[in-house]
């Protein structure tokens, strides 16, 4: 199985400051159709995960442009340019290329 490793696991951030989460996969994530199915989710307490970014760098509708995704090969990054209070929660990366699809351990973002 593909192992997704996130860092850091805990991310205290001051409001208005940038934040970055790394996600590394144990195998390359290029699917046979040429796409890389690497997604990012935010899970707020008591809610289901909400997708923010799909296929590495595509922002979902309604997601603020302060969120961006990048990466290639086995290394991927989620960046928040200026953290706001509503960004608090647990962030997960997830690969949808190799079955079984797998998730990172989660990164808990909190406000300092």
Interaction of residue 32 with another protein, rule CB under 8 A: no
> 97 with 42: CB under 8 angstroms?
no
Q: Which CB, 50 or 66, lies closer to another protein?
A: 50
89 is a contact residue toward another protein (CB under 8 A): no
Which tokens belong to 79?
């960046």
Q: How far is CA 69 from CA 1, 46, 65, 89, 104, in A?
A: 24, 25, 11, 17, 15
Using CB under 8 A as the binding rule, the residues of this chain from 36 to 75 that contact another protein are 37, 39, 41, 47-51, 54-55, 60
CB of 102 to another protein, least distance (A): 7
Q: Which residues contact 32 (CB under 8 A, 6 or more apart)?
A: none
Instruction: Determine, following the binding rule CB under 8 A, whether residue 101 of this chain makes contact with another protein.
Output: yes
Q: Is 5 in the site for another protein (CB under 8 A)?
A: no
Give the integer Cα–Cα distance in Å for 7 and 68.
17
Contacting residue, 76, 104, 107, 109, with another protein by CB under 8 A = 104
User: Which residues of the shown chain bind another protein in the complex (CB under 8 A)?
Assistant: 31, 37, 39, 41, 47-51, 54-55, 60, 92, 94, 96-97, 99-106
């Amino acid at each position: 199985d593909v192992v997704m490793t996130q860092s850091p696991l805990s991310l205290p951030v001051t409001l208005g400051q940038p934040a970055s989460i790394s996600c590394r996969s144990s195998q390359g994530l290029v699917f046979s159709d040429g796409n890389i199915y690497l997604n990012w989710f935010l899970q707020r307490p008591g809610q289901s995960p909400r997708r923010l970014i799909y296929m590495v760098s595509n922002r979902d509708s309604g997601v603020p442009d302060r969120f961006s995704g990048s990466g290639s090969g086995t290394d991927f990054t989620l960046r928040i340019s200026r953290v706001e209070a509503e960004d608090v929660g647990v962030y997960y990366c997830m690969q949808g290329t190799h079955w079984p699809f797998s998730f990172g351990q989660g990164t808990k973002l909190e406000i300092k």
